[in-house]
Amino acid sequence: MKSFLKLLADLLARLVVLPAVGVYWLGAAMGGKERALRYWSEALAVMPGTSGVYLRRAFYRQVLAECGPGCWIGFGVLVHSPKARIGKNVYIGPYSSLGEVLLEDDVLISTGVSIINGPRQHGLDRLDQPIREQPGQWQPVRIGRGSWIGERAVVMADVGSHCVIGAGAVVTRPIPDYAVAVGVPARVIRYRNQPAPDGVESGLADWESRPAQPGQPSTSPPAGSTPFEPTPETDASSTP
């Protein structure tokens, strides 16, 4: 019965967003897909509650390169590229920002995560020209199947499958499969498919006790906090 009600809600959401989808494609034909997507992404981002999740999913399934079934796109999420691909059962937490990204199946994106297209989106070489006018390099970013990106992390490079990226981490280089990476810039502290080193509980004790290098700020979390946020709610009451 529950599955039937979810299917019915999906169908109703698709009907509700049909006018928006039509206006999107009209705007895309006149001014380009990215400009049209910017408007509708911002408009739909502020739709509250579970109904907003269903409406966002229904819209994106008809305008993005891919938006799989069962994905959960939270309040305030902005999608900036029509080339974005969202796999099945992906969770995207509130206030996250996505560029041209591939989120493979079962990825978890926590609150306030920013996934941008590489660290060189603006040129820096010329001093006689504003940075905003200098050409940059844009690279698509992939988050591998089953990976979890912690709260307010910034991802600029590919993350492998079954990885964990700590809260507040800044990923500037590719992260291999099964890696647990934390810090600024993010570095691998252990692999989930290998035993943790002796004396390192879950790979975090070493990270927390590591002293800052001379001339560099400490990467330890504030007192009383942990480098990971609690697992997002994924029970039947909060998933589509």
pLDDT at residue 218, rounded to an integer: 41
So what's the pLDDT on residue 120?
72
With a CB cutoff of 8 Å and minimum separation 6, the contacts of 176 are 160, 163, 188, 191
Distances, alpha carbon 9 to alpha carbons 16, 50, 237, in Å: 10, 10, 15
Average pLDDT on 41-57 reads: 96
| pLDDT attached to residue 99 | 93
pLDDT at 189 over 80: yes
Q: Are 160 and 176 in contact (CB under 8 A)?
A: yes
**CA atoms of 176 and 82, how far apart (whole Å):** 27
Coil vs helix vs strand at 41: helix
Of 109-113, 144-148, 193-197, 206-210, the one with minimum mean pLDDT is 206-210
Confidence label for 230 from pLDDT (cuts 50, 70 and 90): very low
Q: Is the pLDDT of residue 27 over 60?
A: yes
pLDDT for position 129: 82
Does 62 have pLDDT greater than 50?
Answer: yes
The answer to whether residue 27 is domain-embedded is yes
Cβ atoms < 10 Å from Cβ of 94: 15
Residues 6+ apart with CB under 8 A from 76: 45, 46, 94, 95, 96
Identify the pLDDT of residue 220. 41
Give domain status of residue 231, yes or no: no
Q: Is the pLDDT of residue 156 over 60?
A: yes
**What average pLDDT score do residues 38-62 get?**
96
pTM of the model: 0.78
| Bridge partner list, 33 | none
In a domain, 81, yes or no: yes
Is residue 229 predicted with pLDDT exceeding 90? no
Domain-embedded: residue 211: no
Q: 198 in a domain, yes or no?
A: no
User: What whole-number distance in Å separates Cα of residue 175 and Cα of residue 159?
Assistant: 5
Q: Does 239 fall in a domain?
A: no
pLDDT of 119:
73
- What is the Cα Rg of the chain in Å? 19
Domain membership of residue 232 (yes or no) is no
CATH number for the domain harbouring residue 32: 2.160.10.10
More confident residue, 1 or 95: 95
pLDDT attached to residue 109:
97
Q: Within a domain: residue 215?
A: no
Share of the chain above pLDDT 70, in %: 82
Q: Does pLDDT of 179 surpass 70?
A: yes
Domain that holds residue 58: 2-122+133-192
What total of structural domains would you count in the chain?
Answer: 1
